[in-house]
Structure 1
């Protein structure tokens, strides 16, 4: 009888795989950091520009690059791209239904300032759902380590908190209009009910796609994106935008800030 040899991964092969994984993680972090720095620069330029709308698409596009880079470092490139794509498609579908039916956000329409607009929905809006959707999911993963309904609920609330900034700013810039103004800087409360619903769908998709890859201790880059957006929007509404809006600065700053603080408390404990 001939000698039986075990077949397996050699130490050299395992080491090579680990090195490749480490290099990919470093590359993802580098892309995420560089793009996030660009987001900050463009946000500053937008706040100081007499035509801030010109920067909107650029900011969202670079934000998407930053998020995908950080997500790839945390979850792997395949899951990150799939998760981002799912969030973009979910956001686009909700917006396409919304502009036609008024469900789930309320009766609103986009103006012609953001292009392209396939199906009446600006592409940049769908990208924003994807970018901040992944950032909010990472925050929720840090706060609620175990997958399940609690993580979905926290992620939905964290993403909706961002819209306390987003809608007043974008309506102020004339990017979309509401048929019936509401109590929060002209935004109807139905908008936030719709955001919670769609955000929960986005969180469910991300939880399903990332699975066990979304480990609580690996979301610092994405939590950094969420925190950066919270800080910049708070400062913008408080002192940069003209006229300043202390109400939005406080409402958005406290809401997003609370989720960011809870996430970082857990992240630094790991």
Structure 2
């Protein structure tokens, strides 16, 4: 039995080292290349099979998720695993209902396969796309709130609001690229307000399950000790800020700027450090 924890520790240490030694590539180069590739795909400028290639999309997303995966890995226990499995079932279920009935987000359909599709309707990689939006928001809010994060009546509403802010950046860019489209359109860059009412529901469920899954103080300790844990949010700001700017979606660009300001405030958006970080050392 002792060998299993030791093996897990070695794997986690290797993953930490992999991310730490490639921070700039993962957090900056990948989203920049991703934005260029997605914008080129939207204009059909790449060779046919490479335009919105679902496996490239999924691979690039997984690489950008590595800092968050490495950061959370040591905190995964049975309770956290059970909560994440419940959230996985919920995310597949609500997305399938949304695609087939139009509730609760509004009638929409995918225009691009984001990796293999479950039942021909829902991306198999949905948790990879959805979970980090919530967990990044959770971590950012924990650091910004400080001692106030200890009060669930403050912590949960603030995180839910931040998840909605993240989607106010994501959805307009995704619609502009043609990832998905709402049948009736919408006043907010083609996105209906019903989508955000649906996101209130999903964000509440997801944030509640994350709150059950993890001890918030343990998350604070880990993110304070792991300089790269929020690099996935850095990637998000770069990728979707650039895409929205390319389409002239200036409100989402401004909202991405708010996330940028939050990362600056907690000292997690320092490109100079990412470029020059010596092997084996972390910026704190």
User: TM-score w.r.t. structure 1 length?
Assistant: 0.75
Change (3 A) 1:216 1:124: same
1: CA distance between counterparts of 2:210 and 2:60? 23
Structure 1, 40-49 or 256-265: larger mean CA deviation: 256-265
Give 1 or 2 for the bigger CA radius of gyration: 1
Residue correspondence of structure 1 range 110-125 to structure 2 within 5 A:
110-119=110-119, 120-125=121-126
Compute the displacement of 1:96 (Å).
1.3
Change (3 A) 1:70 1:83: farther
Identify the residue that residue 156 of structure 1 maps to in structure 2. Answer: 160
Identify the residue that residue 40 of structure 1 maps to in structure 2. Answer: 28
Work out whether residues 164 and 251 of structure 1, in 8 Å CA contact, stay in contact via their aligned partners in 2: yes
Residue correspondence of structure 1 range 90-169 to structure 2 within 5 A:
90-119=90-119, 120-142=121-143, 143=145, 144-146=148-150, 148-169=152-173
Q: RMSD of aligned C-alpha atoms?
A: 3.5
Structure 1, 36-45 or 93-102: larger mean CA deviation: 36-45
Identify the residue that residue 241 of structure 2 maps to in structure 1. Answer: 234
1: CA distance between counterparts of 2:14 and 2:57? 26
Q: Name stretches of at least 5 consecutive residues in structure 2 with no aligned partner.
A: 42-50, 269-283
Work out whether residues 115 and 122 of structure 1, in 8 Å CA contact, stay in contact via their aligned partners in 2: yes
2: CA distance between counterparts of 1:42 and 1:215? 26
Change (3 A) 1:78 1:87: same
Work out whether residues 133 and 202 of structure 1, in 8 Å CA contact, stay in contact via their aligned partners in 2: yes
Compute the displacement of 1:29 (Å).
2.9
Change (3 A) 1:200 1:25: same
Change (3 A) 1:85 1:29: farther
User: TM-score w.r.t. structure 2 length?
Assistant: 0.71
Structure with more relative contact order (C-alpha pairs < 8 Å, separation 6 or more): 2
Q: Name stretches of at least 5 consecutive residues in structure 1 with no aligned partner.
A: 1-12, 14-18
Work out whether residues 223 and 264 of structure 1, in 8 Å CA contact, stay in contact via their aligned partners in 2: no
2: CA distance between counterparts of 1:31 and 1:167? 31
2: CA distance between counterparts of 1:86 and 1:263? 31
Identify the residue that residue 7 of structure 1 maps to in structure 2. Answer: none
CA offset digits 1:207-237 (Å, max 9, x no partner): 1111356342322533332244224432443
Change (3 A) 1:59 1:82: farther
Change (3 A) 1:211 1:217: closer
Compute the displacement of 1:105 (Å).
1.0
2: CA distance between counterparts of 1:214 and 1:91? 25
Change (3 A) 1:60 1:149: farther
2: CA distance between counterparts of 1:147 and 1:24? 34
Structure 1, 140-149 or 129-138: larger mean CA deviation: 140-149
